[in-house]
Amino acid sequence: MAYDYDLVVIGAGSGGTRASRLSAGYGARVAVVEEGRLGGTCVNVGCIPKKLFVYAAHYGEDFADAAAYGWDVAAPRFDFARLRKHKDVEIARLNGVYAKLLDDAGVTRIEGRARFVDAHTVAVGSRRIRAEHILVATGGWPSLPKTPGIEHALTSNEVFALDRLPERVVVVGGGYIAVEFAGIFHGMGAHVTQLYRGELFLRGFDGDVRRALADEMQKRGVDLRFRCDPTRIEKTAAGLRLTLTDGATLDADAVLYATGRAPNTRGLGLEAAGVKTGNAGEILVDEFSRTNVPSVWAIGDVTDRLALTPVALHEGICFARTVFGKEPTKPDHRDVPTAVFSTPSIGTVGLTEEEAREHGEVKVFKASFTPLRHTLTGRKEKTFVKLVVDCASDRVLGAHMVGPEAGEILQGLGVAVKCGVTKAQLDRTIGIHPTTAEEFVTLRQPVA
């Protein structure tokens, strides 16, 4: 049977681009179809612009702290429009980088929305393209509840395009996007209220980490309201008014909903190819990222696995090796280090204490302390570090941190945990003094 391509990839985000390039490197004829901007969520409305905004939000505290170190700084003024302009320039540059990477690899770029016709054919507009293999890498999309007035709310797709900084912001949700934007807006000078319907945000993270972050956010002045959710959003002459589950009202200039993301499979025509999906629309795949249809594969947030950019990249690599490199490779989703760029940030790898206790007896080591930097500034900020250790093997099952540069520090610990580091090995490691990172090799006494 004649095919136009050996592989058609739907979606030119992180995972799709990596899979396309590597597959082409193995000699495959590859086309990638993208209806939006190259780079997907991460580059355009996710990791990259978010981290740039996080950097911007930290300067307010940095200016304030400078006086304790002998610097006299003129009254700072924040220009949100300038930040957005510079961010847009950088994102456009990255879009061009992605285009060049694909072009240099010999991948054909096709603009438009792809829709399955059958297990080997996709339609892009009036054009039909046949391929031996089709890889779906369309990522996720913000999910919104059916709250009356929800059309007045922003999602993470629109928040980076704001023309000005709102003075009063309500963030709804309890996941990593919600806590990150609560910190971003607060750091830029807005009054921020975060609403979450549960008892404590960041469900699935270590309990001590969740509590430590909540304490630090409240110290900074973020209004955290748990067991609270909007029941209605109304447009008023002065902005927006939210009615809450407790009957109270809350006025705001902007409402950001960060209540989860769903797999971006709507309108793909998966049913025409016979591809099975789950209850949330996620594409169901086996250990090698193959669907129930032998010619169709899926990687990244469109599946029901870890929704992280580096994981999508890893899955794209494994796909290319398996299909075109003749080296069957299963993605490894164990002990994946990750960070939440909240204020302060979180870094974590391995099991939480709660998860570890379900598997056996553990020892827990932790410390909470004032970072050296704030011995002069007088800030009441605390950094928190924690290790979860298996009693039987002495292996470190989990490492967690809340504090500045948590992601940078936990990346190194991620290597150690992945390699099966033991607590005794950490104890024998000499720390770099004075740093926060050394705390992980100086924890000696387990907590009761």
Beta strands in 215-298 (DSSP E): 223-226, 230-236, 239-244, 249-252, 254-257, 261-263, 296-298
**How long is the chain?**
448
Cα–Cα distance measured from residue 445 to residue 448, given in angstroms and rounded to the nearest whole number: 9
* Pair 59, 350: CB distance under 8 Å: no
Measuring CA to CA, which residue among 46, 151, 133 is closest to residue 91? 46
H-helix segments, 158-242: 176-188, 207-220
Dig out the tokens for 434 from the structure: 């004075």
Whether omega for the bond prior to residue 294 falls within 30 degrees of 0, making it cis, is: no
Cα–Cα distance measured from residue 317 to residue 113, given in angstroms and rounded to the nearest whole number: 24
Amino acid at 132: E
Distance from chain centroid for Cα 386: 22
3-state secondary structure at position 77: coil
Cα–Cα distance measured from residue 60 to residue 381, given in angstroms and rounded to the nearest whole number: 15
> Would you list the DSSP string of 332-375?
--SS--EEE--SS-EEEEE--HHHHHTTS-EEEEEEEE--TTHH
* Pair 193, 171: CB distance under 8 Å: yes
Q: Is 433 a catalytic residue?
A: yes
For residue 307, what is the DSSP state?
-
Cα–Cα distance measured from residue 387 to residue 445, given in angstroms and rounded to the nearest whole number: 11
Active-site residue, selected from the candidate residues 152, 359, 400, 433: 433
Burial class of residue 109, CB neighbours in 10 A (0-12, 13-18, 19+): middle
386 contacts: CB under 8 Å, gap ≥ 6: 206, 208, 209, 353, 364, 365, 366, 367, 398, 399, 400, 401
Rg (CA), the chain: 24
Catalytic center residues: 433
